[in-house]
Structure 1
Amino acid sequence: MPQKAASSPSYAFPQDLLDAQASLNATQASYEQYIQSPDPDDEQRDAEFARYRAELLRLSIEVVVHPFWSTLEQGTVVAARMALKHVHDSAGGQGQP
Structure 2
Amino acid sequence: MAANDDSAPDFDYPSDLLAGQEELHQVRADLQALLKRLPWSVEPLDAVSDTQGWRKLERPASPGWTGDEQAEVEKLRQRELELAVFVTCHRYWSGLSGTEAVRARAALKHLHERPGTDEPG
Q: Please list every run of 5 or more consecutive structure 2 residues that lacks an aligned counterpart in the other structure.
A: 40-63
Aligned to 2:72: 48
Distance 1:8 1:34 in 2: 35
Which of residues 58, 65, 79 is equivalent to 2:103? Answer: 79
State how many pairs are aligned. 91
Q: TM-score, normalization: structure 2?
A: 0.67
Q: Which residue number corresponds to residue 11 of structure 2?
A: 11
Question: Residue 65 of structure 1: CA displacement?
Answer: 0.9
Q: Unaligned regions of 5+ residues in structure 1, if any?
A: none
Deviation at 1:5, TM superposition (A): 4.2
The CA RMSD over aligned residues, in Å, is: 2.0
- Give the fraction of aligned pairs with identical amino acids, expressed as a percent: 33
TM-score of the pair, normalised by structure 1: 0.82
2:119 is the counterpart of 1:91: no
Residue of structure 2 equivalent to 1:28: 28
- Greater Rg over alpha carbons, structure: 2
Q: Larger RCO: Structure 1 or Structure 2 (Cα < 8 Å, ≥ 6 residues apart)? A: 1
2: CA distance, partners of 1:21 / 1:10:
16
Q: Separation in 2 of the partners of 1:82 and 1:91?
A: 16
Shift of 1:41: 3.7
Aligned to 1:65: 89
Greater strand share, structure number: 2
